Structure 1
């Protein structure tokens, strides 16, 4: 989706923004004597997007300054009298791409597809994409040759004629030192208090004119909605400016969540009586509904396109209310829970007795064997590719058996993988996920589980809002990084710090629940319902790269095995990614039926 575009006419920059998104407030344009800034998303505060954009323009334009990237979900183009600056927030929520040749940038856009040539595809990108679910947001490669991604936290400087002057990127965690830890970490008694303060700030930054919160009845989403309700109830808005969005299931496993959902809604409305509960009937939704549309129309291949039907149903309800932001509880599982890869640090530093003791506690608290805990959090992070090869050899016999996160799936042709760097892509992916210090990489990798919200991004023009995740806020992540393991891990009580932080707000029944019903039923029903369609999609794919890349019959066997319940979440993710790529390539081969939204000129012909 093209929210803004920069190109050159007669050697002078021409900057345009999508009119519909500007009307919704999703694109903000400000100008001053210093220059002009176009910001997609928000900087600093959702409510005051203009002030945030103006502050960014002034800070970056200050001579000799090295500005600290502010908190927010944004991509921005800043045009000054002597240069052009392209930038994204540290957590890479909003995409931004540029087309470059010979050191000169010829166009910049939020859409790689609008910059690329469908006849010139970058085959190495597809190996990177297929090597794991986290690959896209932290890889410069795009599906199109000559089109590059600006990475999270990266600042790119151009001359006024588009010549590349420099690219500077700090480590994503570099700006996380917002809360300086005391010696030895925060005191245990203050862990919950500090997390509560960070979450309140994160939610406060995201409250808009009309705010929606996704509520599922779980600890995470209920916490975010309660904090939003309290903020609005204390005069930072009106109660009727809050919508509580939930998917309702009357039958099946997910119907068991309904009583928790109703209790959560009741408690939230006690703090904001005028808040509007929006219960969306999702009983007929299954994964893979209209899969070819959701996967084929995306700007890039979207590994989680199979889950788009559920979110699209909820997004449509929020759009009818005129919401300008939708907050979720996404990210809480990895961010505010105990970090299991701390066991790797203990083993790496020779604290084997302490590691064994804590591994036993982890095993008891998660109802797993000690051997499994040590394998997952000590051995596998040390040698991830070797560990996966051994597992694959031990569980051969089916297509999905033993397939992990990085090893080559059997349907990816060996010749294609060798020719286009699949092994190198797997190594890069495993190093990103685990790194030299897996306990630190854990936070960086967790961030990308929710970025860049491809469903939200694809629908933003029609819905008028983006998803935003307070648990992935830089301040929240910084707080959790600073906590010692003793403060975060309590066997049998996941997310102990969050429960402590929200003790006075969460209903006891929700606060004390340790297990939530997953969406496995939607996935199983979707495969049963659409399995034959998915197989037909693979066999009838028109793009020549599908046959060159995949052994289609082996991929079809994987779909059949998944229908029968063979494999695990990791192997199903690998299959889902491949199916999404087939649909995307097929959509690329088909003629485009929808015209891009109307654009309005911001700077046309000159920068003055």
Structure 2
């Protein structure tokens, strides 16, 4: 979807924005003495989009300004009198791309497809995409040759003629390494809870519009966000606005067990905001892979989580009917506000093996896993990720999904294609991103791309009139949790203990005390049973020439059959889902237009 486009016409930069998205407030254009700025999404606050966009232009338009990028969900182009700045926020929810050759940029836009050519694809991208379900979003490569991604938190400076001057990846708000231990347990935890509560209040307040929808599932995370959205206006700490409480309703199966928690959450939220409107969307007939042709085939890039799009699309449609300006979720809380398990890796690499063994035992006692599994996952695997996966593949081999972890080459990806286009190099690069030299720090960077992959929100934004947004992934919240020592954040048997403490005055007891939430496995199983034969037929009848060059189709079909039978773990199924999405995306590549939507021209300084 092309929300904005910058091109050079007659040697001068010209900027266009989507007319419909301008009217909806999803694109904001401002001018000043410095130049002109087009912002997709919001900077600083959803309520003050124009003022914040103007502040962004004035602050960054000054020559020599070295400021950290402000918080928000945005992609922005600033056309100043003597240069052009292209930037994205650290969360990177809004896409932005450059078409570049020989150090000169010829176009900038929010659609890679619109900037590229369907006949000139980049095979290295597909290898990187297949190494994991978040790899595509934090790398420069796109599916189209010559089209490059502006990374999250990056600012690109161009001359007024399009010559590339610099690409700077900003990390201005990252917290320093956390201290090794806390001063005193109870007091430190109370202080940490107060800090997290304040950061979450700021994150939620920034995202609230005139009409805000909150996804409520009955879990601790989404309920916390919705309660803050209800409590902040009630306490006079945010502008009041319409609040919609959006939830999926399941009357049967495993997910029906979540309904009592959902009703408890809604009752408590409405106690703080009586005017809040609960909207329960019947979802009994929803299954993963419904309308897979549309959800996986029409997106700008392959969408690894397209299989789950039918459920979210139904909720989005309900929010759109009510005219919501933004939709808040609880996504990201699991990796961000829980204790950081890779602290065990730090203990091991600094020689504190006895302490590591004791904490691994405590970690295991507070979960349903053994100490050996804990050490394998958080000490051994991060140390030698590819070697650990190869050993696992040998032990669990025998089927298409056996031993297939996060980085191993799927057996259906042809070895010749993988060698020719750098799959091994891609898997090494991805493992370094996920674990890094200090996995306890890399966790937070990886969580941003793993916890809330929502291309669906972007793909539907023009028709829905809002973006999905995630307060738990706000840079202020992440920085707060990064500062905490592990003995403050970790409480055996009580996950996300700091969050529970932070929300103790708002969360109902029934939700505050729960430790386990029903996963959405039932939708996945139902989807494969319903659509498995269609997916296999899709693979066997695919006509795009890259598909048989890339995949051993029969091995991929075998993997789908095994997933139907429940063979393989979640990592293996993720690899199947990603591969199926790629097949569908390639099949529909020629059918989806990348043409610019009706646009408003914006005169840029030359």
**Contact persistence 2:190–2:501 (CA under 8 A):** no
**Contact persistence 1:185–1:482 (CA under 8 A):** no
Residue in 1 that maps onto 2:323: 322
Per-residue CA deviation, residues 35-61 of structure 1 (Å, 9 max, x unaligned), is 100000111001100111011101101
What is the correspondence of 1:249-268 to structure 2 with a 5 Å cutoff? Answer: 249-268=250-269
How far, CA to CA, are the matches of 1:484 and 1:547 in structure 2? 50
Q: Does 1:397 align with 2:434?
A: no
Which stretch of structure 1 is more off in the superposition, 238-247 or 256-265? 238-247
Residue in 1 that maps onto 2:343: 342
Per-residue CA deviation, residues 87-136 of structure 1 (Å, 9 max, x unaligned), is 11112111100101111111100000000000000000000000011201
How far, CA to CA, are the matches of 2:387 and 2:137 in structure 1? 25
Cα 1:246–1:410 change in 2 (3 A) is same
**Contact persistence 1:295–1:583 (CA under 8 A):** yes
**Contact persistence 2:181–2:487 (CA under 8 A):** no
How far, CA to CA, are the matches of 1:504 and 1:84 in structure 2? 48
How far, CA to CA, are the matches of 1:238 and 1:208 in structure 2? 9
How far, CA to CA, are the matches of 1:593 and 1:109 in structure 2? 15
Per-residue CA deviation, residues 299-353 of structure 1 (Å, 9 max, x unaligned), is 0001000000000000000001111110000000000001111000000000001
Please give the secondary structure, in 1, of the residue aligned with 2:34. coil
Residue in 1 that maps onto 2:27: 27
How far, CA to CA, are the matches of 1:27 and 1:417 in structure 2? 40
Residue in 2 that maps onto 1:475: 476
* Offset of residue 176 of structure 1: 2.4
**Contact persistence 2:29–2:37 (CA under 8 A):** yes
Per-residue CA deviation, residues 4-47 of structure 1 (Å, 9 max, x unaligned), is 00001110111000011111101000001111000001110011
What is the correspondence of 1:496-511 to structure 2 with a 5 Å cutoff? Answer: 496-511=497-512
How far, CA to CA, are the matches of 1:10 and 1:460 in structure 2? 32
Of 172, 176, 201, which aligns to 2:174? 176
* Offset of residue 597 of structure 1: 2.6
How far, CA to CA, are the matches of 1:168 and 1:504 in structure 2? 42
Please give the secondary structure, in 2, of the residue aligned with 1:131. coil
How far, CA to CA, are the matches of 1:215 and 1:407 in structure 2? 36
Please give the secondary structure, in 2, of the residue aligned with 1:245. strand
How far, CA to CA, are the matches of 2:74 and 2:136 in structure 1? 17
Residue in 1 that maps onto 2:125: 125
Residue in 2 that maps onto 1:166: 166
How far, CA to CA, are the matches of 2:401 and 2:178 in structure 1? 44
Per-residue CA deviation, residues 540-583 of structure 1 (Å, 9 max, x unaligned), is 11110000000000000000000000001000000000000000
Residue in 1 that maps onto 2:105: 105
How far, CA to CA, are the matches of 1:336 and 1:568 in structure 2? 25
* Offset of residue 185 of structure 1: 6.1
Which stretch of structure 1 is more off in the superposition, 574-583 or 162-171? 162-171
Please give the secondary structure, in 2, of the residue aligned with 1:368. coil
Residue in 2 that maps onto 1:564: 565
Please give the secondary structure, in 1, of the residue aligned with 2:588. helix
Please give the secondary structure, in 2, of the residue aligned with 1:280. strand
* Offset of residue 83 of structure 1: 0.7
How far, CA to CA, are the matches of 2:565 and 2:22 in structure 1? 47
What is the correspondence of 1:28-177 to structure 2 with a 5 Å cutoff? Answer: 28-171=28-171, 174-177=172-175
**Contact persistence 2:180–2:485 (CA under 8 A):** no
Residue in 2 that maps onto 1:607: 605
How far, CA to CA, are the matches of 2:426 and 2:364 in structure 1? 32
**Contact persistence 1:92–1:452 (CA under 8 A):** no
Residue in 2 that maps onto 1:515: 516
**Contact persistence 1:246–1:280 (CA under 8 A):** yes
Residue in 1 that maps onto 2:272: 271
With the length of structure 1 as denominator, give the TM-score of the two structures.
Answer: 0.97
How far, CA to CA, are the matches of 2:154 and 2:593 in structure 1? 34
How far, CA to CA, are the matches of 2:24 and 2:180 in structure 1? 46
**Contact persistence 1:399–1:410 (CA under 8 A):** yes
Residue in 2 that maps onto 1:282: 283
What is the correspondence of 1:128-527 to structure 2 with a 5 Å cutoff? Answer: 128-171=128-171, 174-177=172-175, 187-235=188-236, 241-450=242-451, 453-527=454-528
Cα 1:519–1:94 change in 2 (3 A) is same
**Contact persistence 1:240–1:275 (CA under 8 A):** no
Which stretch of structure 1 is more off in the superposition, 67-76 or 412-421? 67-76
Which stretch of structure 1 is more off in the superposition, 527-536 or 234-243? 234-243
Please give the secondary structure, in 1, of the residue aligned with 2:40. strand
Which stretch of structure 1 is more off in the superposition, 394-403 or 328-337? 394-403
Per-residue CA deviation, residues 246-296 of structure 1 (Å, 9 max, x unaligned), is 000011110000111011000000000000001001110000000011000
Cα 1:248–1:448 change in 2 (3 A) is same
How far, CA to CA, are the matches of 1:239 and 1:154 in structure 2? 34
Please give the secondary structure, in 1, of the residue aligned with 2:257. helix
* Offset of residue 153 of structure 1: 1.1
Please give the secondary structure, in 1, of the residue aligned with 2:341. coil
Count matched residues: 602
How far, CA to CA, are the matches of 2:569 and 2:81 in structure 1? 55
Per-residue CA deviation, residues 423-442 of structure 1 (Å, 9 max, x unaligned), is 00000000000000000001
Aligned-residue Cα RMSD (Å) equals 1.5
**Contact persistence 2:213–2:244 (CA under 8 A):** yes
How far, CA to CA, are the matches of 2:321 and 2:416 in structure 1? 49
Question: Gapped runs of 5+ residues in structure 1?
Answer: none
Cα 1:114–1:411 change in 2 (3 A) is same
Which stretch of structure 1 is more off in the superposition, 354-363 or 189-198? 189-198
How far, CA to CA, are the matches of 1:273 and 1:36 in structure 2? 42
* Offset of residue 189 of structure 1: 2.9
How far, CA to CA, are the matches of 1:373 and 1:184 in structure 2? 21
Please give the secondary structure, in 2, of the residue aligned with 1:483. coil
How far, CA to CA, are the matches of 1:450 and 1:107 in structure 2? 31
How far, CA to CA, are the matches of 1:188 and 1:212 in structure 2? 31
Please give the secondary structure, in 2, of the residue aligned with 1:403. coil
How far, CA to CA, are the matches of 1:490 and 1:140 in structure 2? 39
